Amino acid sequence: MEEKPFPAWVWSVEQCLKEYNVKLENGLSSKDVEKRREKYGWNELEKEKDKPLWRLVLEQFDDMLVKLLLVAAFISFVLAYIDAHQTGDTCFHAYVEPLIIVLILVLNAMVGVWQESNAERALEALKEMQCDYAKVLRDGYCVPDFPARELVPGDIVELRVGDKVPADMRIAFLKTLTLRVEQSSLTGESMPVIKSTGPVMVDDCELQAKKCMVFSGTTVVNGSCICIVVNTGMCTEIGNIQTQIHEASLEEHHTPLQKKLDEFGGRLTTCIGLVCLVVWVIKYKYFLSWDVVDGWPTNFQFSFKQCTYYFKIAVALAVAAIPEGLPAVITTCLALGTRKMAQKNAIVRRLPSVETLGCTTVICSDKTGTLTTNQMSVNEFLTLGEKKTSSQVFHVDGTTYNPKDGGIVDWTHHNFDANLQSLAEICAVCNDAGILSNGSLFRATGLPTEAALKVLVEKMGLPDIKERNGICDSQLAVDCSIDRSTVKLGCCQWWSKRSKRVATLEFDRVRKSMSVIVREPTGYNRLLVKGAVESVLERSSHVQLSDGSIVPMDEPCRQLLLFKLHEMSSKGLRCLGFARKDDLGEFSDYYSECHPSHKKLLDPSNYSDIESDLVFVGLVGLRDPPREEVHTAIEDCREAGIKVMVITGDNKSTAESVCREIELFSDNEDLRGKSFTGKEFMALHSSQQFEIMSQPGGLVFSRAEPKHKQEIVRMLKENGEVVAMTGDGVNDAPALKLADIGIAMGITGTEVAKEASDMILADDNFSTIVSAVAEGRSIYNNMKAFIRYMISSNVGEVISIFLTAALGIPECLIPVQLLWVNLVTDGPPATALGFNPADVDIMRKPPRKSNDPLISSWIFFRYMVIGSYVGIATVGVFVVWYTQASFMGIDLASDGHTLVTLSQLRTWGECPTWTNFTAAPFSAGGRTISFSNPCDYFSIGKVKAVTLSLSVLVAIEMFNSLNALSEDNSLVRMPPWRNPWLLVAMSVSFGLHFIILYVPYLADLFGIVQLSLNEWFLIILVAAPVVLIDEALKFIARRQKQRFTKKKTA
């Protein structure tokens, strides 16, 4: 039975020490460590066993089309070997067909193995997040650089600013007033979290609520502490995530297109098998005969040579039916799609994901960094006016840490009154943050809120005109220093030089404020304070007005400020209050640690007395603002029928506020049944959960843990949805892996998230996902176009071979020619169809269902009609050459070939029994074809008829590619020049056909000859009607749709 983990967050420090049998002053003994290592193992993440290479290779052949091709290649090889052995001809020509098929399959397998081997790097990226060394107490001695791998539960570890946490640990005591930990990558919280030592009274609480715990892989950004190691290795939260990633990878399914192609492959296999069997069986009389005596068959005669010959015809039929070029064309189309997406900042890591985007029905988006900028910024600030009952509110534009991004609305330096100057001074000096720049990307060092306040100071400028103009020729900010990364904040530096800091009163959870003592230019000290508005107001007895005068704070003034606070908070703003104090008493002349009053600053319990009787200056509202483009993207999703769900680790009120702001919900919309914490949603009955998931409109899940995200994605998939999941943190990785499309953030995303994803957003922007969905839809339409083109061409080839067998005439196409058509001639037009322009209304249609058929019954009917014409035309021109002297005014007998009757052509196998049959020599491409045996006229002599059949097939397929430009639109409305690449591809395919026709070596290899101009006229005349036939079918389809629409409207 598995041991239940000890809930250290519920118990006091003393109880935890007792549980792990350790003392804070001594740490564990070496003997204890050995025992615990045997029980708990090393503090490292386990490495999952990689799939062996042979298994990866075999998996690439687990596909119906591939298996069919393998069988066809094997049979072709065996028959070629038998044929060569019987004739004594060891020519390479006979093996061309099986070798080409095998080459295609090998290349396909290589690509598959490469993709698979790159798929599990997320687990390796997790290991890089683990800490290498820690400061540990062992046997009563402090070891500063102790290998973190050797930690065991019960170890005593010291953490300081900048340290990466080496294991999941319970905080024993704080060495500083506050301890802040950056754990957004694990929990999704947008701000560093303040930690404490007090136990949490709830056993089954979310990670965010475990304030007395620090987790492996997170980072200390402020303060230091002593901790007790609770969990190591795979038992840590990051270890749980590794387990979840591995489980999610086992649940990975095929993309919608792969499922469709698998279904198609299965049906194609059945059809091909049946047709091949029928073709072989109906020719039984040529290789099996018997006499009937007294009503019973006797004297059976079997011809192995004829049996294998007709078996080869059946194999040729299989080769004709299988679209060998389809995998290559799909890969090319998807690769082209990835290039287009990369230009739009969406980097696709797995090719099939491009198409899956097109049928996305739900986007599960993280809030922080995706819908928002993940950069705190000041949205508005407030100071009092000329009277205590009046206030002035200023709105601030800009959503990044770039001080040049936006400005203060209606701001002029003439309204830079005394109160605003005090606010600017406190924001600049009572602040430890900085800003770094990497090209166009700006990020904060220190607390994000403090960095945002410094940006505000830069936007405000300076009150002194000369100083203002002296900072970078009137440019108030963003000059990079010598290291080209730290941003020089001119205005903040000016205030810092003017008011020099001499002491800092650190933040604590009781006061909810921090302050600094500064030496003013007058030589006296002043206290500058910032903190929670209610807390600062409570300790303020006066207020400063816009003219600089200080007046007592009365109740109406206090209520006005509290009302403004409520107003700003209801907009989702995080508010800070600012105050100052001029009369510092014994600290008025404080200068350093040598001052007599310094002892009071060493005791934090004195800070509340020092920060009393304050003069309130103003308040500032900050937020992690929504991206400007998100609102439009959400609207596009609505029009496209895509549901948006926000899943975040942040608190409920913040998440709801942001969702209202991006208009996922309207301002007055009741969010009951639409907004849940992860814990609330998981507590519901499964039927309620599915009901909520199925309802139209958006949903928001806050305080979501990794297991919640994963479960939500799993439910959606079970509900038949195609899910795109965005994320940037370690906590998002399992859900990213499980989703149909995992989308990681390129800028703020962790390596773990990126490696678990299918797609990476280079700009971390939600609207890029919507653009990628539009591109995915366009790619799917284009893929349907070239699948429609290739399959209809293959149906034509199948019908041509079937007709050949059914009529009993010599085979008009040999397997190597069919392979050439399928791979080379069809390839360029099919690829060019991937460049078809997207429909204008592509994002105004609902997403297709993942179970929608790739080939509808009407499209199948069209395949059969077009395919029938292709087959009849290909076989027809063969028959016409043998039986007709001219066709539609085109002379065919000028080459001198012998004409036969249709009856003779159908019974050509009986030629040796004919009397007085002769075959005259005829000219073909500058050479004369002659026969020692007249019956060779139907084998060696068919070379020109075969060439005509092959050329008609190529020409028809080129014309048929024009039909595939649009499923229903006429060529008049969608002319060929809308896709110039298709015209180029048609030219390339014709060019390749001319090469094999007019290069003697290649002509011999493919068993064809050169054609005259007259014969080319015949080919075009026979091929062109395919366009007219499909135009008629498209017209019928449009009429049917119009009738259906009218009925629906009525």
Tell me the catalytic residues.
366
CA distance 798 to 821: 13
- List Cα–Cα distances, 944 to 320, 733, 876, 947, 957, in angstroms: 20, 62, 14, 5, 20
Is residue 537 within 8 Å of 614, Cβ to Cβ? no
- List Cα–Cα distances, 250 to 111, 309, 518, 760, 794, in angstroms: 20, 47, 60, 22, 36
Amino acid at residue number 986 = M
| Assigned token pair, 586 | 């014994």
- List Cα–Cα distances, 405 to 396, 408, 449, 641, 960, in angstroms: 10, 10, 17, 34, 54
**DSSP labels, 835-894:** GPPPPTTGGGSPPPPTTS-SS-HHHHHHHHHHHHHHHHHHHHHHHHHHH-SEETTEE-GG
Query: Which residues, 6 or more positions from 314, have their beta carbon under 8 angstroms from its beta carbon?
Result: 276, 277, 279, 280
Q: Which long-range contacts (CB under 8 A, 24 or more apart) does 990-997 make?
A: 990/954, 990/958, 992/824, 992/825, 992/828, 993/825, 993/951, 993/954, 996/820, 997/947, 997/951
For the chain, report the end-to-end CA distance as a whole number of angstroms.
66
Is residue 406 within 8 Å of 459, Cβ to Cβ? yes
Helix/strand/coil for 444: strand
CA distance 872 to 889: 20
- List Cα–Cα distances, 622 to 378, 415, 432, in angstroms: 4, 22, 17
Is residue 458 within 8 Å of 464, Cβ to Cβ? no
Radius of gyration from C-alpha coordinates of the chain: 39
CA distance 246 to 120: 9
CA distance 542 to 836: 71
Helix/strand/coil for 495: helix
Is residue 629 within 8 Å of 766, Cβ to Cβ? yes
Query: Which residues, 6 or more positions from 497, have their beta carbon under 8 angstroms from its beta carbon?
Result: none
**DSSP labels, 148-184:** GGG--TT-EEEE-TTPBP-SEEEEEEESSS-EEEE-H
| Total number of residues shown for the chain | 1050
Distance of CA 111 to the CA centre of its chain: 19
Helix/strand/coil for 512: coil
Helix/strand/coil for 328: helix
CB contact burial 965-983 (16+ within 10 A = b; e otherwise):
bbbeeebeebeeeebebbe
Helix/strand/coil for 220: strand
- List Cα–Cα distances, 248 to 129, 234, 723, 742, in angstroms: 20, 16, 14, 12
Question: Starting from the edge strand earliest in sequence, which strands make up the sheet with 699-702, in order?
Answer: 346-348, 759-761, 741-745, 723-727, 362-365, 643-647, 699-702, 675-677
Q: Which residues pair with 543 in a beta bridge?
A: 551, 616
CA distance 348 to 909: 57
Helices 766-807 and 857-883 pack at an angle, to 10 degrees, of 40
**Residue whose entry in the numeric block shows the structure tokens 């499909």:** 1030
- Going by DSSP bridges, is the β-strand pair 156-159/141-147 parallel, antiparallel, or unpaired? unpaired
